[in-house]
Amino acid sequence: MKKIKLAVLMLCVLCLFAASAAAQQPAWTYPIKATTLDDKTGLLVLANTTSLIPEDYVPYHLVNTYLRATNAGMQLRQEAADALKRMFEDATSAGYTLYIKSAYRSYQTQNTMYQNRLEKYNKDDGVVAAPGTSDHQTGLAVDILNYAWTQQDGMRPEFSQTAEAQWMAENCAKYGFILRYMEDKQEITGIIFEPWHFRYVGEEVAAYMMENHLSLEEFTAEYQQAIASFEQAGGDFKAYVKAQRELPPPIIISGDEEGESEVSLFYQTP
């Protein structure tokens, strides 16, 4: 019994140490959790003409989506595939039938598409992204159409006028997706308005981005600035994130072998 109380006391002391180490850091005031922005799982990866994905980059845990699609074998990262499945199911309940037009594309596939387009038009007309710059190489991006548009050759911004596109724009964030290429962000993204292109970033970030109408380029710049400001104020971002990860939610231990109704609240050490 005494030993248990001593152990609990020591754990509390350890927690105080951890808490005081964290307290030396400036306050984290940015609306997104620091652990999310540390992006251990790569959900915030940015692919564009100034932030290229390496040729040998293969997204973590690609899976077949097995969702309604124009072609078989549409792959996404597991998290994105799971979220998309829920989005497709809820769309169906709302009366909309969605189709995947395109999902993960490897560097090699993107390169072939790009070279074909170059050959056809003798110039880079901006329609097909150069290899290394496509959001589809992240395994987190998906093009989604309704039936009528799967029957057309090519995708155009007018798809935004369909009920399916409007439902997706309104609801995508609930599933962790953002509209990656918005109409009034073309100058920033360097890509035309693509009401069919959705990108998984996780629910916390998607809700914030859609609410604040941010492109991934703007969000990236904004959170990198938040980290820089934190460090300018004397913080150590990596250490702060590490401390956050090491403090799991408190657990409640009640009673002991003698049946006392004593309740101790403490943090479990990692």
Listed ranges 79-87, 135-143, 162-170, 206-214: which one lies at the site for Zn ion (CB under 5 A): 135-143
Rounded Cα–Cα distance for residues 136 and 134 (Å): 5
Among 114, 133, 143, 202, the residue binding Zn ion under the rule CB under 5 A is: 143
Give the active site residue among 194, 246, 258, 262: 194
Options 77, 117, 197, 199; binder of Zn ion; rule CB under 5 A: 197
> How far is Cα 179 from Cα 193, in angstroms, rounded to an integer?
10
Q: Which residues pair with 197 in a beta bridge?
A: 143
> To the nearest whole angstrom, how small is the minimum distance from the Cβ of residue 115 to Zn ion?
18
Count the helix, strand and coil residues of the chain and give each as a percent rounded to the nearest 5.
Answer: 45, 10, 40
Asked if 175 contacts 181 with a C-beta cutoff of 8 angstroms, the reply is no
Contact yes or no for 223/213 (Cβ under 8 A): no
Shorter beta-carbon distance to Zn ion: residue 195 or 202: 195
Q: Name the one range near Zn ion by CB under 5 A: 4-12, 52-60, 148-156, 192-200.
A: 192-200
Q: Which is nearer to Zn ion, 36 or 137 (CB)?
A: 137
Stretch that binds Zn ion, among 77-85, 139-147, 210-218, 241-249 (CB under 5 A): 139-147
Amino acid at 121: Y
The CB-nearest residue to Zn ion is 197
**Cβ count within 10 A of residue 60:** 11
CB-facing half-sphere around the CA of 197: CA atoms within 13 A: 20
Tokens found for residue 153: 């050759």
CB of 101 to Zn ion, least distance (A): 8
Q: Least CB distance from residue 180 to Zn ion, whole Å?
A: 8
b/e 135-148 (16+ beta carbons within 10 angstroms → b): bbbbbbbbbbbbee
Q: Is 231 a catalytic residue?
A: no
Show the site string, 239-268: x = touches Zn ion by CB under 5 A, - = not: ------------------------------
The DSSP secondary-structure symbol of 53 reads P
In angstroms, give the least distance from the CB of 221 to Zn ion: 22
Smallest distance, Å, CB 185 to Zn ion? 15
- CA 249 – CA 252 distance, rounded (Å): 10
Q: How many residues bind Zn ion (CB under 5 A)?
A: 2
Listed ranges 31-39, 160-168, 190-198, 242-250: which one lies at the site for Zn ion (CB under 5 A): 190-198
Rule CB under 5 A: which residues touch Zn ion? Answer: 143, 197
Return the active site residues.
Answer: 194
